Amino acid sequence: MRPLDGIAVYPSQRFGYSDDPWFRIGGFPVSTTAFVVGLGVISTIIWGIEGRFGPIFGELVLVSENYQLGSVVEGDIWRLATWPIPNEPDIWTIILFAIFYMLGSQIESLLGRWRFAFFLIALTLVPAVVVTAVEAVAGTTGYVAGLRMVEVGVLVAFAAQYAQARFWPGIPGWVIAVVIVGLDALQALGNRNWFALIVLACTVAVSLLGIRAFGYAANLTWIPKLSFAAGSGQSSVGARSSRARRRGRGREHLRSVPIRDESATPEIDALLDQVSSQGLKSLSRKQRRQLEAHARRLRRHR
């Protein structure tokens, strides 16, 4: 275990493993991050077989009307959601996948699989809808495809939460995020690619607003915290599922679990020792559920 900006990071979290995967392939737990990267790897193979705008990927990329491939404006609504799938096979794409896997695993461990999946969906849909609306009104032209922009959104969220986390060779995370976003913006400006610039701006906005809405990046007070996630209990109905609220209430009850109880098993005793010495944040999701179940048993007994 090693600390990351005050957060305990377990080996399973560092390498994309999850205590709560969607499913397993053999012994490998497939989290949201692993699934997205796996889909990206498959897409590079398909791209190599059929070419840049082949019969499959030509139907998936987000393009303006002038590309004559079909577009959202012409009725291809699915393109709003499918544009991150096609990824061109080259060394930079592999590096992109690796970065997305590492950072995405951290954010997924922070948010949980459901909220992280919702976060990725927002990073996909919102920029696509906005740039399509601008195209319909102002005639902006261009195209966007691949995981690149979604990865930028994950990087920005990571840097917002872990601003002082160090990247090799010791550069703070927020500096890396600013440089990458700045270079992308300059490249789009230099090419007069307003289509890509709009998608980039929307991606950064969704990332920052999203991570704040989920209750993180508390140091970025200049970013508004959306009302649907700002409160608790009934005021957060718009953003939190009933399952998340129940989990939150369970975590509150953890604070009332006694340090020792005659009904506690040696495993529970070990977890209570860990909470006492390292705090609740040191527990994995599975360990939290074990303590929550123990707390419920004590309340029923009393």
- What structural domains and CATH numbers belong to the chain? 2-230 (1.20.1540.10), 241-301 (no CATH)
**Residue 72 tokens, joined:** 């959202």
Question: Average pLDDT of the chain?
Answer: 80
CA–CA distances in Å: residue 118 to residues 16, 57, 260? 18, 24, 39
pLDDT value of position 164:
84
pLDDT digits (tens, 9 = 90+) for 227-273: 654 443 333 334 344 444 445 544 444 444 444 455 567 778 777 87
Query: What pLDDT was estimated at residue 261?
Result: 52
Distances (CA, A) of 71 to 58, 63, 86, 135, 261: 10, 6, 16, 10, 64
In single-letter form, the type of residue at position 166 comes to R
Q: pLDDT above 70 covers what percent of the chain?
A: 79
CA 50, distance to chain mean position in Å, is: 30
Give me the pLDDT at residue 3, please. 38
55 vs 3, which has greater pLDDT? 55
Task: Give tens-digit pLDDT for 102-140.
Answer: 999 999 989 988 999 999 999 999 999 999 999 989 888
Contact 254, 292 (CB under 8 A): yes
Does the pLDDT value for residue 198 go beyond 80? yes
Query: Is 252 exposed, middle or buried (CB count within 10 Å of its CB: 0-12, 13-18, 19+)?
Result: exposed
pLDDT at 234: 35
Structural element, H or E, at residue 274: helix 266-278
Ranges of beta strands (E only) in 118-211 are 143-144, 166-167, 171-172
